Amino acid sequence: MKELLNDAIEEIVFPPSVEIYAEKLDNPHLHVWVVSLRRMGYPSLFLMGDMRGRKMLNLSVEDPFDRCACVFRIDPPSDLKAMVTLYKRLFEQVDVLQAGIFRLPLKVKVLVSSGDESWLEKLILQEKIRGEEYFSFQEKISEPKLKKLFDSLKLDHKVILKNEGVDVFLRRPTWLNEEFVPLMHEVGVLLRKRYGLIGAQNPPKDTFLSLRVSYETFLRDEFSLVAFLDDFLEKLRRIYIILLRCFEEVSSSA
């Protein structure tokens, strides 16, 4: 993946340095311009550059515009063909293109970076001093782990990568009758707690139950999201069958 970013960054026409916006900024050296694009619900690809002319191309789990305060908007470069081509190769389409000025640090988990390596090393060192993990998150992401993350986005259930973890939105199972959805949702919440999980935020309307899996868990070699979800839903189905039998026995004895 890093090779793909390396190739793309060589062809990109970059915006001017942050220096041209210096009069509008308090401490310009602490600011960067950012140009990002993404497909809704998918990772973001963003360019960034600073006062000294340093530049990086980054693939992150979320878009900086969603997690960080933009100081003000700027016009994006006129030629982003290489960047758009790379993103479409990864995620098929681009829904949102934005450009703006941000104050460092950018607090989005980065999967891979290309560009000024000394700048990247400095950002990672600063994060470690602060006890944060954003650009430094990529140190945990090998090519196999990156593929594992990308493969999760192709599952039947909706999966979205967030700073906090891997959010999974389960649709109503085909074996579950509509009338029992509220009851089984509550059972699912209890089962979710047994696994030590919490729910995800902002679930789509068709979500039956949401789960948030930590990156610590997800990135383990032995962890399979598909196997985990199959096991979770099978346990839920067995509970459902037991409850149905109980209802039938109560009804027949009434």
**Is the Cβ–Cβ distance between 113 and 40 less than 8 Å?**
no
For 186-216, how does the pLDDT look when each residue is reduced to its tens digit (9 = 90+)?
999 999 999 999 999 999 999 999 999 999 9
Give the CA radius of gyration of the chain: 22
Per-residue pLDDT, 138: 98
Averaged over 151-161, what is the pLDDT? 96
Higher-confidence position of 26 and 66: 66
Residue 252 has pLDDT above 90, yes or no: no
Band of the pLDDT at 68, cuts 50, 70, 90?
A: very high
pTM: 0.91
**Is the Cβ–Cβ distance between 190 and 155 less than 8 Å?**
no
Measured CA to CA, the distance from residue 165 to residue 64 in angstroms comes to: 16
Averaged over 12-25, what is the pLDDT? 76
Neighbours of 52 (CB within 10 A): 12
For 70-92, how does the pLDDT look when each residue is reduced to its tens digit (9 = 90+)?
999 998 887 889 999 999 999 99
Measured CA to CA, the distance from residue 213 to residue 200 in angstroms comes to: 9
Give the residue among 208, 108, 214 at the shortest CA–CA distance from 158. 208
Per-residue pLDDT, 90: 96
Query: Cα–Cα distances in Å, from 219 out to 62, 100, 192, 215, 225?
Result: 18, 32, 19, 6, 10
Measured CA to CA, the distance from residue 209 to residue 188 in angstroms comes to: 7
Higher-confidence position of 104 and 17: 104
Would the CA dihedral through 19, 25, 28, 30 be positive or negative? negative
Band of the pLDDT at 247, cuts 50, 70, 90?
A: confident
Residue 254 has pLDDT above 60, yes or no: no
Per-residue pLDDT, 23: 82
Give the residue among 39, 235, 219 at the shortest CA–CA distance from 147. 219
